[in-house]
Each structure stands twice: as C-alpha cells, then as structure tokens.
Amino acid sequence: MLVNNMARVIAVANQKGGVGKTTTVLNLGSALQKEGKRVLLVDLDPQAALSASLASPQTKASHTVYQVLLSQSPAGQAIRPGDNGPDLIPADLDLAAAELELSSEMGRERILADALALIKERYDFILIDCPPSLGLLTVNALVAAGEVLIPLQCEYMAMRGLGSLLRTIEKVKAKLTPSLEVAGILVTMYNGRTLHGQEVLDEVRRTFGDKVLKSVVKASVRFKEAPAAGLSIIDYDPEHEGARAYQELAKELIG
C-alpha cells in the first residue's frame, strides 16, 4: 500500500508586528532544508517582506498568493522555485485588498487550505508567514495549518498581547480546525544582558510552561543584514549564534 506523506503546515503567527515572524519563516525554512526537508514558504503578509527578502532585483512574480486566494491561479502555478533555498509562493501589495474581496465568498476561511491541499504531497514542511493582525488572512493560515508557531519578542508588552492570539487559535480550533495545535512559542529578540530580558524570559516560561520552545533567538543586526543580501542568516553567516538558534529550532520541530 502506498503511503501519502503530506507536509506539516505551520502558520507563523502573532498579531503584533515586529516580533520576528518573517525572520523566523525565512531562517527556519532554510534550516529545515539544510536538514534535508522539502520546504515551501508562503508569504501571506501584504507587506511582502518575505518575498522581498528572497527576490532578486529583476524578479517580478507573475503569479502570487493573491491570485491563488482569488482562484485566478492554482497554488502550483504560483510556486517560485528556490535557487539554493526553499520554494516560495510570493506576495505583493495587491494582497492588501484580499480580505475585502474575499469577505463575501462562501467558505472564505478555507480558501488557502483548499489551495495548498493540491500541493501538500510535494513538501515535508509548508511555513506560512502571517500578517500582523487576526483578520481573514490569518484565519485562512490557521485553518490551512495543523500547527501554529508563535514568535514572541522578549518584551513585557509583547507578552501581554499573546492571550488574544491564543484565544483566536482556540476559536479556530473549536469551530473550523479541530486538529490545530500550538507547535510552540519561540522567544525572539532576546537580550540576556538586560535584567528586563531575563525577567520576561523567566515569566514566559512560568506562564506558558512546555509550550515555550527550548530554542531562543537573540537580538542581532545580522537578521537585518542577511535579507538585504537575499539570504537567510544560515547562508549569510552560518557560524553566527542566530544561525545556530534556527538550526536548533529546526531539529526541535523535527523531533
């Protein structure tokens, strides 16, 4: 009997901006590929930072996730093969109009899930970069995913907003996707030299227990330099502690 291995689909989500969602998708995707996994990245953020990080200056995507969501292109047609990294379904600024355009569609929460279902057998992991909101695009990502990875900036105010996301995940789980689980909370932008950083990390671990992943990503300017060169930090500076953190995270998720 043939076994049909489907991808693990992980939504990388947090309604707060600037917490490291795109950085995590880019670098975790690269780390998983280095572990021999077939990886697809899906840019679901209208800011399209992930797509910009992986695009050459001449690159203009003819098919994007916007066309996929509006059923103008199948997901397979929108895949941009990676040169030395993961494949990508890119986004552009047109995606900003998608929530309004999809608001009257039947089954609007499941459009991305239906689109990705046709290509899931091609990959081991599909990572979805969610927008910094809890709107229809994020709900589409949560319905399409089996797991949610939550990057959490190591600051007190970022931690305060986590409850809203966890409640949204529980609502989606109860009403739309019973199998949805939190893959883990990833502490990002950690500065162990400050008392505030240490206190927040301790509080996150006390509050959320084993939901908090062992891997911790420290703050570093390298995370801004690498995308400017069109690379993950693992390709840009493989010996950097940030590269090692994402390699450890990949191993932690693979198990």
Residue owning tokens 């390699």: 247
pLDDT reading at 55 higher than 80: no
Which range of 160-164, 209-213, 228-232 scores highest in mean pLDDT? It is 209-213
Distances from the Cα of 20 to the Cα of 12, 71, 124, angstroms = 9, 30, 23
1 in a domain, yes or no? no
144 in a domain, yes or no? yes
User: Minimal CA–CA distance to 99: which of 128, 126, 65?
Assistant: 65
Distances from the Cα of 167 to the Cα of 163, 173, 198, angstroms = 6, 10, 26
| pLDDT given for residue 1 in this prediction | 32
| Beta-carbon contacts of residue 72 (< 8 Å; ≥ 6 apart) | none
Residue 181 parent element (H or E): strand 181-190
Question: Once rounded to an integer, what is the mean pLDDT over residues 24-51?
Answer: 97
Report yes or no on whether pTM surpasses 0.75. yes
Confidence of residue 3 (pLDDT cuts 50, 70, 90): very low
| pLDDT given for residue 19 in this prediction | 92
| Beta-carbon contacts of residue 184 (< 8 Å; ≥ 6 apart) | 149, 150, 211, 212, 213, 252, 253
Containing structural domain, residue 116: 8-254
3-state secondary structure of 6: coil
Query: For residue range 14-23, what is the model confidence (pLDDT) as tens digits?
Result: 998 989 999 9
Confidence of residue 60 (pLDDT cuts 50, 70, 90): low
3 in a domain, yes or no? no
162: left (phi over 0), alpha (psi -120 to 50) or beta: alpha
CA 192 to chain centre: 25
Residue owning tokens 């066309």: 67
Tally of structural domains, the chain: 1
81 in a domain, yes or no? yes
CA 174 to chain centre: 22
199 in a domain, yes or no? yes
CATH number at 17 reads: 3.40.50.300
| pLDDT given for residue 189 in this prediction | 94
| pLDDT given for residue 6 in this prediction | 83
Question: Once rounded to an integer, what is the mean pLDDT over residues 40-56?
Answer: 91
2 in a domain, yes or no? no
Report the C-alpha gap between 13 and 20 in whole angstroms: 10
55 in a domain, yes or no? yes
Percentage above 90 pLDDT, the chain? 78
- Cβ atoms of 35 and 250 closer than 8 Å: yes
Residue owning tokens 């039947």: 106
- Cβ atoms of 15 and 138 closer than 8 Å: yes
Query: For residue range 156-180, what is the model confidence (pLDDT) as tens digits?
Result: 888 888 888 899 999 999 999 999 9
Distances from the Cα of 252 to the Cα of 8, 109, 176, angstroms = 14, 30, 28
| pLDDT given for residue 62 in this prediction | 79
| pLDDT given for residue 241 in this prediction | 95
223 in a domain, yes or no? yes
Confidence of residue 118 (pLDDT cuts 50, 70, 90): very high
| pLDDT given for residue 119 in this prediction | 97
Confidence of residue 56 (pLDDT cuts 50, 70, 90): low
DSSP letters, 11-42, are: EE--SSSSSSHHHHHHHHHHHHHHTT--EEEE
Percentage above 70 pLDDT, the chain? 96
pLDDT reading at 30 higher than 90: yes
Confidence of residue 59 (pLDDT cuts 50, 70, 90): low
- Cβ atoms of 91 and 112 closer than 8 Å: no
